[in-house]
Amino acid sequence: VNTASRDLSIESLQGSYVAEFVQSERELLAALRVDDGAFLLADARVAELYPQIVAAFGTERVHRVAATEDEKTLSGVERCCLFLQERGASRASRLVVLGGGIVQDIGTFCAHVYYRGIPYEYVPTTLLSMADSSIGAKCAVNLGAYKNQLGFFQSPRRVLQWPGFLETLTPDDVRSGFGEILKLSITGGRQTYAVFEAHLKRFGFATSEVEPMIALSLGVKKPVIEADEYDRGIRKTLNYGHTFGHALESVTDHQVPHGLAVAWGVDLANFVAWRTGMWPEADFLRVHELIVTRFSLQVRAPYDAAALIAAMGKDKKASGSTVQTILPDSAWTLQLVPQQLGGQFQTLIEEFLKTFDPFLPGRR
Ligand SMILES: NC(=O)c1ccc[n+]([C@@H]2O[C@H](COP(=O)([O-])OP(=O)(O)OC[C@H]3O[C@@H](n4cnc5c(N)ncnc54)[C@H](O)[C@@H]3O)[C@@H](O)[C@H]2O)c1
Ligand SMILES: [Zn+2]
């Protein structure tokens, strides 16, 4: 067993911070060094499942929120700020944020605007947040009917990783987290993907074994966000699978968990890369096989290429009649490839849906 520390330091333009791994709830509590200046924003479900953490802060210092997209709004942020104000939090206070990506976004927003900013520390509790969103400093809340419209880049003081939280996660949330890990493993190149593939073969989605995969994902993401924290160039490649994944989420009315939609989007991106001569057929089939076996889902909402194209046109990253896709080339390097919505591109998507769609196995 490799007991070497997996701690990872991130160079951020707002000061560097460390993603620190702990091995038990007790170690987590010790690392948090809870004192009178610490307040906790907690996912209500996590607070209920892990009462000792709440107890360490004292109930009156804990603000519980439901992890829903409705809460991830300016009014949800306002409720959190009001809580801090009512409890007399000052500029010397700090906010500890405990939960998945939803609570992370509410907490980051609140900590950044309360008194023009108080320090915050993040304790991710879902696989998606441990392996992906906990580093990179992105923060966004929803506006009206649209997701992630208001936000900024803001780093935490530190991230505390305790994979023990994953024991209480639903199997779909675990699988969803693995979808983002799949994406990052291919982003890391052929070798990194081979490590991921071998891990799945050996351990499947066992949460007790997942820590090396969290470290692998963060290791792939770190150099990318450090090189381009503000998303002007290379960081856009982290959207691999997301242009298609978001479109699928939208046409299925969010029936598909995010990370599974990303896995589906990765498959479609790889298909487009293969059919446009960028990627070998064998590589497509190899990853496709894994996605079909591990990430498939029976989706009830019917969808087609035209609906997906229409949804892509509404994406906040689309401009006019073009959308950016991120496709692998033969060296397994991700490239930004603009696509004209419609025509040739739509025909390719139709072909994918008819022959390969991992979510509609009945159609095959
Ligand atoms: N800021 C970023 O960089 C970034 C990146 C990716 C996604 N996001 C956002 O993250 C959100 C999705 O986050 P998520 O997938 O982490 O899920 P989530 O925060 O929606 O949590 C998923 C579910 O798991 C529950 N839960 C959380 N931890 C648990 C635990 N340890 N045991 C049992 N149940 C637990 C929650 O209550 C919720 O019901 C989206 O809003 C997305 O936009 C943000
Ligand atoms: Zn994602």
Q: State pLDDT tens for residues 136-186.
A: 999 999 999 888 999 999 999 999 999 999 999 999 999 999 999 999 999
Q: Which of 43, 130, 149 to mutate to test the pocket of ligand 1 (most atoms within 8 A of CB)?
A: 43
Separation of 23 CA from ligand 1 center, angstroms?
21
Residue 239 DSSP one-character state: G
Confidence at residue 194, expressed as pLDDT on a 0 to 100 scale: 98
Separation of 253 CA from ligand 1 center, angstroms?
18
Q: Which of 98, 126, 207 to mutate to test the pocket of ligand 1 (most atoms within 8 A of CB)?
A: 126
What residues are paired with 148 via a beta bridge? none
Of 53, 107, 100, the residue nearest 76 (C-alpha): 107
Separation of 258 CA from ligand 2 center, angstroms?
6
Confidence at residue 300, expressed as pLDDT on a 0 to 100 scale: 83
Mean pLDDT of 191-197: 98
Query: Is residue 302 over pLDDT 90?
Result: no
Mean residue pLDDT of the chain comes to 95
Query: Is residue 36 over pLDDT 80?
Result: yes
Q: Which uninterrupted H or E stretch holds 326?
A: strand 322-328
Confidence at residue 319, expressed as pLDDT on a 0 to 100 scale: 76
Confidence at residue 342, expressed as pLDDT on a 0 to 100 scale: 84
Nearest atom (ligand 1) to Cα of 66: 37
pLDDT digits (tens, 9 = 90+) for 306-353: 999 999 998 777 777 899 999 999 999 999 999 999 899 999 999 999
**Residue with CA closest to ligand 1 atom 5:** 133
Query: Is residue 15 over pLDDT 60?
Result: yes
Cβ distance 125 to 168 under 8 Å?
no
Closest ligand to residue 162's CA = 1
Closest ligand to residue 260's CA = 2
Separation of 63 CA from ligand 2 center, angstroms?
26
Phi and psi angles of residue 80, each rounded to the nearest 5 degrees, phi first: -65, -40
Nearest atom (ligand 1) to Cα of 44: 37
Separation of 33 CA from ligand 2 center, angstroms?
31
The proportion of the chain whose per-residue pLDDT surpasses 90, expressed as a percent, equals 90
Nearest atom (ligand 1) to Cα of 151: 1
Confidence at residue 301, expressed as pLDDT on a 0 to 100 scale: 84
Separation of 141 CA from ligand 2 center, angstroms?
15
Of 202, 187, 189, the residue nearest 238 (C-alpha): 187
Measured CA to CA in angstroms, residue 131 lies from 8, 226, 334, 361 at distances of: 12, 16, 20, 29
Of 198, 317, 196, 321, the residue nearest 263 (C-alpha): 196
Cα separation, 80 vs 112, whole angstroms: 12
Separation of 346 CA from ligand 2 center, angstroms?
23
Query: Is residue 2 over pLDDT 70?
Result: no
pLDDT digits (tens, 9 = 90+) for 114-148: 999 999 999 999 999 999 999 999 999 999 988 89
SS3 160: strand
Which residues lie with the beta carbon below 6 Å from any ligand 1 atom? 43, 45-46, 49, 67, 72, 99-105, 125-126, 128-129, 132-133, 136, 138-139, 148, 165, 168-169, 173, 258
Radius of gyration of the chain (CA): 20
What are the helix and strand counts (H, E) for the chain?
A: 14, 11
Cα separation, 26 vs 160, whole angstroms: 13
What residues are paired with 138 via a beta bridge? 153
Residue 159 DSSP one-character state: E
Cα separation, 334 vs 182, whole angstroms: 14
Residue 66 DSSP one-character state: -
Q: Which of 108, 128, 160, 222 to mutate to test the pocket of ligand 1 (most atoms within 8 A of CB)?
A: 128
Q: Which uninterrupted H or E stretch holds 280?
A: none
Going by pLDDT thresholds of 50, 70 and 90, the confidence category of residue 60 is very high
The total number of residues written for the chain in this structure: 364
For 253-281, b where at least 16 C-beta lie within 10 A, e where not — what string?
eeebbbbbbbbbbbbbbbbbbbbeeebee
Closest ligand to residue 155's CA = 1
Cβ distance 215 to 222 under 8 Å?
no
The residue written with tokens 């066992």 in the block is: 206
